[in-house]
């Protein structure tokens, strides 16, 4: 694998970022504010944040960094045991809608290079009440997975359910989706899958917001959403691997905590 | 040390609980709702929660439990190495005021018995803006400490500052106070100190609320408070020893998370 692959992945993440920002801005009527940050090793990223009337808080982050893993990390990362060098590029998206009728939506895909290389990522949604398109949402993800490998969907779905679980509350963070890592079969096909997932997320958020953004909601429903978001906050701070990794390694605090809900309520 | 000491401590924590509930209820004009819970080993506790117009969310918890430490814990707890039996009794208080002019207030004292016995506890406050009685507050704590041991105040103050610190934000959770543990000199004198700290907290909250509860505040100031509370939530979930211990050992989830702010905002 070469820099060609890395750059192809990076370019797609940037292209998808641009598409998502355009779509979400148009739906909301507000602009994203972009902030660049640099990594303490090499490279950096761009956060794009929106605080609007449809999207109460949303973030679309891309980053491309390179460096050397600490000796402690080397043992944990595939292909890093004898060579600590890595390159990583990725896109990460969180949308917390104002309306409790619309789920919070989370998506990320990434590409890592050590002496090995692989894709990882996933998407999941967190409704706080009945979400009428839930079946369609899951079916859409299944269709994409099945197109690329007829055996993987149930594995990726379970991975997501297992990951986004709060053991101390014995409840799921949300309604799940898919989650995968160490995807390293045929590069072209893997990349196709990554792009398909991104396009699916893009189209899903567009259609969901356009369909539901004008539906009325009550204060009681908003309250349900704020309570649900406290679980989202608990998950991110107690369990999320990316958050823990970022905080422990001194990453950009605003980028790491971009995913936190705008307002959360503990009863 | 004997059950006499344990019961003396337990009785004081209950007496203080009753006094605090009476005072806070009168200030707020709302009642506490009490919930009993039982420990998976032996014993249990009572949560008392208030959601009012002056106290946006407050909790006064007492508990008295006994059991055996896991072999993993035995090495970490003084006096438990050769004998896993323990008894613990304590009171824990968090008040999140509606008004941003009034600091959030936190207090706890506890008594533990293994083959050794000791008191621990502390109090700290979290203003989100200028709190005019801050000097007096610290001076009062110093006076109590000095009365019992002229050398301890600076140690207890530093312990508090070090403990309530968010390294990922490089900022303090609040304005500090005192924090102490493994207090095991003369039992009668230690107990006197514990009671003095409790009375100081009781009188401090009473005078602070009575003085400030009718002061007007703006939406901008309320917003500052909600942001400050997000740091409170981060501290509790990322760093607080009691929260981590409770979640990991399957304690009562409502009692453990009683301290979480009612509403928090991540910008």
In a domain, A16, yes or no: yes
For position B12, which CATH number holds?
A: 3.40.1500.10
Smallest CA-to-CA distance from B194 within B183, B203, B204 is with: B183
In a domain, B265, yes or no: no
Please tell me the predicted confidence (pLDDT) of residue B253: 86
* CB contact at 8 A, B86 and B113: yes
Nearest-by-Cβ selection for B257 from A253, A263, A266 = A266
Please tell me the predicted confidence (pLDDT) of residue B54: 98
Instruction: Give the whole-angstrom CA distance, residue B227 versus residue B266.
Output: 6
Chain B positions contacting chain A at CB under 8 Å are 57, 168-169, 226, 230, 233-234, 237-238, 247, 250, 253, 256-257, 260-267
Please tell me the predicted confidence (pLDDT) of residue A202: 98
- Residue B223: exposed, middle, or buried by beta-carbon count in 10 A (0-12, 13-18, 19+)? middle
A239 is an active site residue: no
In a domain, A120, yes or no: yes
In a domain, A119, yes or no: yes
Chain B contact probe: residue of A57, A266, A267 with most B CBs at under 10 A:
A266
Smallest CA-to-CA distance from B199 within B58, B39, B57, B16 is with: B16
- Catalytic pick among A106, A148, A168, A239: A106
Q: Which domain holds residue A112?
A: 3-259
User: How do the pLDDT tens digits run along chain B, 267 residues long?
Assistant: 578 899 999 999 999 999 999 999 999 999 999 999 887 778 889 999 999 999 999 999 999 988 888 888 888 889 999 999 999 999 999 999 999 999 999 999 999 999 999 999 999 999 999 999 999 999 999 999 999 998 999 999 999 999 999 999 999 999 999 999 999 999 999 999 999 999 999 999 999 999 999 999 999 999 999 999 999 999 999 999 888 877 877 777 888 899 999 999 999
Q: Count H helices and E strands in chain A, helices first.
A: 8, 10
In a domain, A112, yes or no: yes
Please tell me the predicted confidence (pLDDT) of residue A173: 96
In a domain, B103, yes or no: yes
Give the tens place of pLDDT for each residue, B199-231. 999 999 999 999 999 999 999 999 999 999 999
In a domain, A265, yes or no: no
Domain count, chain A: 1
In a domain, B100, yes or no: yes
Chain A positions contacting chain B at CB under 8 Å are 57, 168-169, 226, 230, 233-234, 237-238, 247, 250, 253, 256-257, 260-267
Which residues from chain B sit within 8 angstroms of residue A168, using beta carbons?
Answer: 247, 250, 253, 256
């Amino acid at each position: 694998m070469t820099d060609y692959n890395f750059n192809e992945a990076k370019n797609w993440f940037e292209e998808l970022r641009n598409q998502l920002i355009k779509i979400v801005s148009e739906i909301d009527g507000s602009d994203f504010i972009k902030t660049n940050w640099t990594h303490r090793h090499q490279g950096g990223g761009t956060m794009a944040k929106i605080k609007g009337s449809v999207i109460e808080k949303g973030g679309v982050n891309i980053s491309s960094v390179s460096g050397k893993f600490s000796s402690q990390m080397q043992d944990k990362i595939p292909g890093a045991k004898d060579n600590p060098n890595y390159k990583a590029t990725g896109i990460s998206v969180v949308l917390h809608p104002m309306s409790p009728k619309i789920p919070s939506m989370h998506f990320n895909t990434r590409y890592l290079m050590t002496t090995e290389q692989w894709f990882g990522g996933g998407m999941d949604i967190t409704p706080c009440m009945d979400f009428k398109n839930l079946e369609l949402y899951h079916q859409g993800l299944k269709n994409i997975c099945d197109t690329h490998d007829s055996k993987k969907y149930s594995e990726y779905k379970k991975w997501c359910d297992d990951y986004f679980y709060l053991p101390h509350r014995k409840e799921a963070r949300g309604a799940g989706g898919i989650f995968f890592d160490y995807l390293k079969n045929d590069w072209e096909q893997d990349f196709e899958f990554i792009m398909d997932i991104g396009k699916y997320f893009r189209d899903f958020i567009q259609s969901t917001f356009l369909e539901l953004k004008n539906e009325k909601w009550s204060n009681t429903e908003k309250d349900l959403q704020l309570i649900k978001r406290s679980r989202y906050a608990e998950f991110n701070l107690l369990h999320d691997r990316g958050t823990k990794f970022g905080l422990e390694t001194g990453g950009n605090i605003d980028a790491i905590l971009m995913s936190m809900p705008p307002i959360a309520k503990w009863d």
